[in-house]
Amino acid sequence: MRAMAVASPGGPESLRLVEMPTPTRVGHEVLVRVVAAGVNPVDAKSRAGAGVSPGSDWPMVPGYDFSGVVVQTPYEAFPLSPGDEVFGMTAFPRTGGSYAEYVSVPAFSVARKPSVLSHAEAAAVPLAALTAWGAVVDLAKAHEGQKVLIHAGAGGVGHLAVQIAAYFGAEVVTTASPKNAEWLLELGASRVIDYTTTEFEDELADLDVVIDGVGNAKHSTGSRSLQVLRPGGLIVSLPSAGWPTMIEDAAAAGMRATHYFVQPDAGTLSVIARLITSGDVRVTADTVLPLEEAERAHILMESGHVRGKIALKVSDY
């Protein structure tokens, strides 16, 4: 099969199109022919040898998100059948990622693709939507009357977190550039703060929750977020590094803090699929590129100016 692989840690130029053996389905896994793969910031970090890179186990095929067609299932009466359209997450870095023509994934990692989405759009959903759901629903318990700040609202996770929080009745404020303000208001934000001209901590106070997709790597966004929370408020940090004293800093300020790391969940992904089908949640695939242009996709993603997600077209449907 064709796959985009990285022989050793490096920049976007280290991505190379190679031929690899097609994975063999074992146990409870489902073999899927990948039509499209989502591109996430963690892919770039792993490519560079950080994030969740496989350590010394190179070469590496990156990628979590995929949308495609079932090829093989664990047994005859399995709920999914060969030919069904599905989307989900790979077990990367334990296995090869989704920048490849085939993936074999655990059954709990895959769900039926919403028929209203193209494969490219569907491939933009799993990791970002499950991350947004985990932070907004599982941890923040979004509900009517709650006041939530979501940083980087125009990003892959952010634009879904805004919609999910609004769906559950929360009052959502988000930070974004001016070009994305109107779009985010359409998605359910009650207010958009232009981070290029305005310090959000000068505008906000007594919030219940901050969902932080930026962290302290840029302008100490995480630390500054503690200033806008009410006593006992919660900050959920999505970046895995950059603020090593987060828990202690939050406790000293009388706040609660936690990281969140996404996990595959076919049940939750099926719920998200129903929200997409009903029109309550929209997904944006900003750019779709062929697999051969994965280098360009990573350059674009690392520029930090993508609306929603980037997807790679891996094969024809």
Task: Give the model confidence (pLDDT) of 172-215 as tens digits.
Answer: 999 999 999 999 999 999 999 999 999 999 999 999 999 999 98
For residues 151 and 254, state if they share a domain: yes
Residue pair 160/132 in contact (Cβ under 8 Å)? The answer is yes
pLDDT over 70 for what percent of the chain?
99
Please say if the pLDDT value at position 55 is more than 80.
no
- State residue 61's pLDDT score: 95
For residues 39 and 114, state if they share a domain: yes
Q: Residue 94: pLDDT band by 50, 70, 90 thresholds?
A: confident
Q: What is the CATH number of the domain that holds 79?
A: 3.90.180.10
Q: What is the CATH number of the domain that holds 167?
A: 3.40.50.720
Per-residue pLDDT averaged across 79-98, rounded? 95
> Residue 271 domain-assigned?
no
Neighbours of 238 (CB within 10 A): 25
> Residue 81 domain-assigned?
yes
For residues 193 and 307, state if they share a domain: no
For residues 209 and 146, state if they share a domain: yes
For residues 11 and 116, state if they share a domain: yes
Gap between the Cα atoms of 100 and 6, Å rounded: 12
Per-residue pLDDT averaged across 8-19, rounded? 95
Per-residue pLDDT averaged across 268-278, rounded? 98
- State residue 93's pLDDT score: 85
> Residue 278 domain-assigned?
no
> Residue 269 domain-assigned?
no
Residue numbers of the domain that contains 149? 128-259
For residues 120 and 234, state if they share a domain: no
> Residue 274 domain-assigned?
no
Gap between the Cα atoms of 237 and 169, Å rounded: 22
For residues 7 and 35, state if they share a domain: yes
For residues 179 and 83, state if they share a domain: no
Please say if the pLDDT value at position 286 is more than 90.
no
Q: Which residues pair with 39 in a beta bridge?
A: 310
> Residue 277 domain-assigned?
no
* CA 289 to chain CA centroid, nearest Å: 18
For residues 251 and 208, state if they share a domain: yes
> Residue 48 domain-assigned?
yes
Residue pair 61/20 in contact (Cβ under 8 Å)? The answer is yes
Question: What φ, ψ does residue 261 adopt, rounded to 5°?
Answer: -120, 125
Gap between the Cα atoms of 147 and 152, Å rounded: 16
For residues 141 and 90, state if they share a domain: no
- State residue 305's pLDDT score: 80
Q: Residue 106: pLDDT band by 50, 70, 90 thresholds?
A: very high
What mean pLDDT is reported for the chain? Answer: 95
For residues 121 and 142, state if they share a domain: no
What is the tens place of the pLDDT at every residue in 135-164? 999 999 999 999 999 999 999 999 999 999
For residues 58 and 153, state if they share a domain: no
The pairing of strands 110-112 and 102-106 is unpaired
Gap between the Cα atoms of 44 and 11, Å rounded: 8
> Residue 264 domain-assigned?
no
- Number of domains the chain is built from: 2
- State residue 173's pLDDT score: 98
